[in-house]
């Protein structure tokens, strides 16, 4: 099979995307496929027409890759691709819209408000989480303790987005659940050494510890909520659902990632391995 791996792109997550893309490319080549790496650049349409791939593996994180735009282009070109379509990608990329859909389906998520550039936030519950509505990999994530810190965080966010969310901070545990081809993967608890799972904690070796959840009842509840959220957003092939579980054991969905990272520190392939699915088998399942 001739497979193009789209990687890199124009988002703040470019470097992570290149790592994910190279890992996918290597696995495809070892599986015997004709795998071709492409960056997201102005000539992408012409190159795709010339190559005529059987399928595209989208390894683009963040804007352009996870928000439905590249999916729409591939639909127009008539090229099949791995992952969610235009609608699911766009819905999951916008955290504000995601949370509205979660609430509609009675899936617990922390209280929040959306703030657009130029608006004054009306929020008085601290501590609070402030983050872009349309970025991934915890890019631009802040935990604030008062109004002054909130306004400073938003000033920083306006450099990378026009829409942010201010969200209730759930004190407790951070747990993530992957979904591969409608199968839930074993939940992983994340223990960042600096207390908050931000960009540095995600991508710096040794900054976080990871443990598979041992509480069977909680694991089952999280898996059920994860697949419910995945389907509510009309996602396909794969996703990773991030949770906070408060001190009383109540889970809250924070967000859903439609193109999980696949670097050496990434949680999605780690969970696959726990289920007996090695990296190459995971890739085979995704491109079939």
Q: From the candidates 174, 203, 237, 244, give the one annotated as an active-site residue.
A: 203
Q: Both 205 and 283 in a single domain?
A: yes
Please say if 69 is a catalytic residue: no
Please say if 261 is a catalytic residue: yes
Q: From the candidates 137, 138, 239, 266, give the one annotated as an active-site residue.
A: 137
Q: Both 66 and 18 in a single domain?
A: yes
Residues 225 and 184: beta-carbon distance below 8 Å:
no
Q: Both 123 and 179 in a single domain?
A: no
Residues 208 and 74: beta-carbon distance below 8 Å:
no
Q: Both 99 and 127 in a single domain?
A: no
Residue linked to tokens 């992570």 = 16
Task: Assign 3-state DSSP to the chain and report helix, strand, coil percentages, each to 5.
Answer: 35, 25, 40
**Number of domains, the chain:** 3
Residues 210 and 188: beta-carbon distance below 8 Å:
yes
Please say if 278 is a catalytic residue: no
Q: Both 102 and 179 in a single domain?
A: yes
Please say if 224 is a catalytic residue: no
Q: Across the chain, what does the average pLDDT equal?
A: 94
Residues 65 and 210: beta-carbon distance below 8 Å:
no
Q: Both 164 and 175 in a single domain?
A: no
Q: What CATH number should be reported for the domain holding residue 273?
A: 3.30.470.20
Q: What CATH number should be reported for the domain holding residue 55?
A: 3.40.50.20
- For 192, the domain range is 91-108+170-287
Q: From the candidates 83, 133, 255, 266, give the one annotated as an active-site residue.
A: 255
Q: Both 72 and 203 in a single domain?
A: no
Q: Both 182 and 283 in a single domain?
A: yes
Q: From the candidates 67, 242, 244, 266, give the one annotated as an active-site residue.
A: 242
List the one residue out of 259, 274, 261, 264 whose CA is nearest residue 85: 259
Q: From the candidates 189, 240, 244, 266, give the one annotated as an active-site residue.
A: 240
Q: Over the stretch 146-179, which tens digit does the pLDDT of each residue have?
A: 999 999 999 999 999 999 999 999 999 999 999 9
Q: Both 98 and 227 in a single domain?
A: yes
Q: Both 99 and 239 in a single domain?
A: yes
Tell me phi and psi for residue 236, to 5 degrees.
-145, 145
- Which of 153, 168, 183 is where one domain is finished? 168
Q: Is the pLDDT of residue 206 over 80?
A: no
Structure tokens at 259: 């193109």
Residues 256 and 102: beta-carbon distance below 8 Å:
no
Specify the higher pLDDT residue, 31 or 198.
31
Q: From the candidates 13, 66, 174, 223, give the one annotated as an active-site residue.
A: 13
**C-beta atoms surrounding 285 within 10 Å:** 16
- Which of 168, 187, 216 is where one domain is finished? 168
Cis peptide before 127 (omega within 30 of 0): yes
Q: Over the stretch 111-153, which tens digit does the pLDDT of each residue have?
A: 999 999 999 999 999 999 999 998 865 678 999 999 999 999 9
Q: Both 54 and 159 in a single domain?
A: no
Q: Both 201 and 247 in a single domain?
A: yes
Q: Give the up-direction half-sphere exposure of residue 124: CA atoms within 13 A in the CB hemisphere.
A: 0
Please say if 257 is a catalytic residue: yes
Q: From the candidates 89, 133, 257, 266, give the one annotated as an active-site residue.
A: 257
Residues 50 and 2: beta-carbon distance below 8 Å:
no
């Amino acid at each position: 099979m001739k497979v193009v791996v789209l990687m890199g792109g124009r988002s703040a997550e470019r470097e992570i995307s290149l790592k994910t893309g190279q890992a996918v490319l290597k696995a495809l080549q070892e599986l015997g496929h004709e795998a071709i790496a492409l960056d997201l650049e102005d000539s992408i349409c012409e190159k795709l027409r010339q190559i005529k791939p059987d399928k595209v593996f989208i390894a683009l994180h963040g804007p352009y890759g996870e928000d439905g735009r590249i999916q729409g282009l591939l639909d127009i070109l008539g090229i099949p691709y791995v992952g969610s379509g235009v609608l699911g990608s766009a819905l999951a990329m916008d955290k504000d819209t995601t949370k509205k859909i979660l609430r509609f389906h009675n899936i617990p998520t922390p209280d929040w408000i959306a703030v657009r550039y130029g608006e004054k936030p009306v929020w008085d519950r601290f501590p609070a989480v402030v983050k872009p509505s349309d970025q991934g990999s915890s890019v631009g994530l802040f935990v604030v303790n008062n109004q002054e810190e909130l306004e400073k965080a938003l000033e920083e966010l306006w450099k990378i987005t026009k829409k942010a969310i201010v969200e209730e901070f759930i004190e407790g545990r951070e747990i993530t659940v992957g979904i591969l081809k409608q199968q839930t993967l074993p939940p992983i608890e994340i223990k960042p050494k600096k207390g908050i799972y931000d960009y540095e904690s995600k991508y710096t070796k040794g900054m976080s510890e990871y443990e598979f959840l041992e509480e069977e009842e909680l694991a089952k509840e999280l898996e059920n909520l994860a697949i419910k959220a995945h389907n509510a957003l009309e996602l396909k092939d794969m996703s990773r659902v991030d949770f906070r579980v408060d001190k009383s054991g109540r889970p809250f969905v924070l967000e859903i990632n439609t193109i999980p990272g696949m670097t050496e520190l990434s949680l999605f392939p780690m969970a696959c391995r726990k289920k007996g699915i090695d990296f190459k088998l995971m890739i085979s399942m995704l491109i079939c």
